[in-house]
Amino acid sequence: MPLFIYKARSKPTEILEGRIEAESKESAISQLLEKGITPIKIELTSSSDLKDKSSEVRRFFGKVKTSEVDIFTRQLASLIRSNITLFKALHIIKEQTENPHFRELISQIATDVENGEMLSDVLAKYPKLFPSIYVNMVKAGEKGGILDEALERLVKFREKEEDVRAKIKSAFAYPIFLTIVGILTIFILFTFFMPRLINLFNQLGQILPLPTKILINISNFANHNWLWICIGFFVLVLLFKRKSTSKSEQFAKDWFKLHIPIIGGLIKKAEISKFGRALSILLRSGISIFEAIEITASLLKNEVLKTELNNMRKEIISGSSLSDSMKAASQFSPFVINIITVGEEGGRLEESLLEVANFYEKDVDRAIRLFTSLIEPIIIMIIGIIVGFIVFAMLLPIFSVDMTVR
């Protein structure tokens, strides 16, 4: 959307300057008049201005942590609840912020607010730091005069989301560490230790047992191709990690993730939990069901669930209820659909969505505990069997020589 620079009169003696996004110059004038500001001069920004803004966003993103944005949100909610003006609250927070990049960003936000822009419009300029749910919640709070409540809900939502994400990361951290250590140990045995033993076995000149022959063949392959094995491994990791070039490729990748045993269930439950909580707070803030589902879909990481939410939105626009649209989706269980149906019939949809979120958060906790209790001993057992086979195959010829000598 085009960005306009304006100069306007707020009071007989007060001149404001700032930026505003609008489809046209006439639309920009209408927006300013709705805010009670009389435009004096409006100009479309040049492409170089837009590039400066883009680079400005990139400069801040990556240097400001999610936790810092959460602290900013909580402080802003507390100060506004204490009847401190938004502009003053932003300056107070800026003085207390240690991160120089975030301090500079808050200073720019305060300047834009002072120039007459709405806080939600200013935050929308930094989508990497303030996603659509953040901006729309702030906008709803501004319209309803409950900005502090909207910010508090945002903080609680982001904290819950971060808790689930942290639990899933911690559940995978130790098994991944064990697997990497096990693979490295086996690789080092095959590549560096086995060749020395092979020379010893060749000097013995005896017929080697089958397990030792298998081990020698694997070792020879690893020893001669270890560089290509490493390159192949890193290529696979990069292919899996890289961003998909097309939506269909990402859809296929996310579909595969959902069908991985145990892991797929964890991903699905975490995403449905986020869906329920996000949709609940958006509807509670007065945002329409159509817009709320669109915002919620943008928050989800899995393309399969995103697609289903977008299809649900189309059905709701056509006149279906939320529960009816969910029946056509394959990722929502009858349990979820029944709770939503009861909530719609009883006029308590927001509470029902929150119940779904809470249920799946607890289910994620249970699944994580089950996953960690099963996967760790399984990985240790598999690595132990492989290492045990290697040791057995290495020592078997030596025992055979000892028996022959006796």
Q: Which residues of 326-361 are buried (b: 16+ CB within 10 A; e: fewer)?
A: beebebbeeebbebbbebeeeeebbebbbbbbebbb
The answer to whether residues 285 and 294 touch, using CB atoms and an 8 Å cutoff, is: no
Which neighbouring-strand residues pair with 9?
15, 38
pLDDT digits (tens, 9 = 90+) for 91-140: 898 888 888 888 888 888 888 888 878 888 888 888 888 888 888 888 88
89: left (phi over 0), alpha (psi -120 to 50) or beta: alpha
The CA distances from residue 264 to 110, 260, 364, in Å, are 43, 5, 11
Highest mean pLDDT among 48-52, 54-58, 217-221 belongs to: 217-221
Phi, psi dihedrals of residue 386, rounded to the nearest 5°: -65, -50
Question: Please, how many CA atoms are within 13 Å of residue 313, restricted to the half-sphere of its CB?
Answer: 18
Within the chain, how many helices (H) and strands (E) appear? 17, 3
- CATH number of this structure's domain 160-406: 1.20.81.30
Computed over every residue of the chain, the mean pLDDT equals 80
pLDDT digits (tens, 9 = 90+) for 339-383: 999 988 888 888 999 898 889 888 888 888 887 788 888 888 888
Give the integer Cα–Cα distance in Å for 84 and 284: 25
Residue 172 has pLDDT above 50, yes or no: yes
Please name which of 172, 173, 337, 197 lies closest in space to residue 262, comparing C-alpha atoms.
Answer: 172
The answer to whether residues 204 and 405 touch, using CB atoms and an 8 Å cutoff, is: no
- Over residues 254-275, the mean pLDDT reads 85
Q: Out of 3-17, 21-35, 140-154, 256-270, which region has the weakest mean confidence (pLDDT)? A: 3-17
Give the integer Cα–Cα distance in Å for 372 and 375: 5
Write down the pTM of the prediction.
0.64
Type of residue at 290: F
Q: Look at residue 200 in the predicted model and tell me its pLDDT.
A: 73
- Would you place residue 405 in the very low, low, confident or very high pLDDT band (cuts 50, 70, 90)? very low
Give the integer Cα–Cα distance in Å for 251 and 244: 9
Strand order in the sheet with 14-21: 14-21, 3-11, 38-44
Q: Look at residue 51 in the predicted model and tell me its pLDDT.
A: 42
The answer to whether residues 144 and 45 touch, using CB atoms and an 8 Å cutoff, is: no
Please name which of 154, 145, 146, 85 lies closest in space to residue 113, comparing C-alpha atoms.
Answer: 85
% of residues, the chain, pLDDT over 90: 1
Give the integer Cα–Cα distance in Å for 285 and 140: 6
Quote the tokens at residue 403: 């028996």
Quote the tokens at residue 65: 């942590």
Report domain extents, the chain.
1-45, 160-406
pLDDT digits (tens, 9 = 90+) for 391-402: 888 777 777 655
pLDDT digits (tens, 9 = 90+) for 285-336: 888 888 888 888 888 888 888 888 888 888 888 888 888 888 888 888 888 8
The answer to whether residues 252 and 258 touch, using CB atoms and an 8 Å cutoff, is: no
Q: Look at residue 401 in the predicted model and tell me its pLDDT.
A: 57
Residue 55 has pLDDT above 70, yes or no: no
